[in-house]
Amino acid sequence: MPREFQHIIRFAGTDIQGTQPVTYALTNVKGIGMQLANAIVEKSGINPEARMGFLSSTDVEKIEDIIKNPTQYGIPTWLLNRRKDMETGKDLHLLGSDLVFQTKTDIDQMKAIRSWKGFRHSYGLKVRGQRTKTTGRQGKAMGVKKKQVQRGGK
């Protein structure tokens, strides 16, 4: 008996198209990459080539539970995006707006303590040791400034 197809699935705060395979559909959620998506599908026991729209609600709930508690299901900690959290000391995995908010607070903390990375962030420079002599020039005025055009016939 074929299952009813869902065209759009609300999953972890994101709308996902039902036509995509499960592995690729999971990568549409901010905070889940291809490796983590493969690990989640493997731990859930779902066919990775199955379309997201054909999954039952229990399968979707199982995937959401694995995402919320990845270490309980045996997903290695090196796949998580927030290891040894500063406040709690635990290995966490953040998704969506939580990930964006935590990244912004980390950058603000680096700026507040005036670390080297915070300094680079505050001045809009490259942070991770890239070269800056010839790259990363977009958005900044380079060279000679133009004179302002005089108005009024003088």
Predicted local distance difference test score (pLDDT) of residue 140: 61
pLDDT of residue 149: 74
Phi, psi of 26 (to 5 degrees): -65, -30
Closest CA to 5 of 41, 45, 40, 51: 51
String of DSSP letters for 1-28? -PPPP-SEEEETTEEEETTSBHHHHHTT
- Is pTM, for the whole model, over 0.85? no
Q: Can you name the CATH fold of 8-79?
A: Helicase, Ruva Protein; domain 3 (1.10.8)
pLDDT value at residue 13: 83
Domain boundaries, the chain: 8-79, 95-125
What does the pLDDT read at residue 21?
92
Q: How far is CA 35 from CA 27, 42, 97, 114, in A?
A: 9, 11, 21, 34
| pLDDT tens-place values along the chain, 154 residues long | 456 888 888 888 888 888 999 999 999 999 999 999 999 999 999 998 889 888 888 988 999 999 888 889 888 999 998 888 888 888 888 888 888 999 899 899 999 999 999 998 888 888 888 888 888 777 666 666 667 777 766 5
Tell me, what's the pLDDT at 39?
Answer: 93
- Tell me, what's the pLDDT at 37? 93
The C-alpha atoms of residue 141 and residue 154 are separated, in whole angstroms, by 28
Token reading at 16 = 């996902």
Coil vs helix vs strand at 51: strand
Residue 1: predicted pLDDT = 41
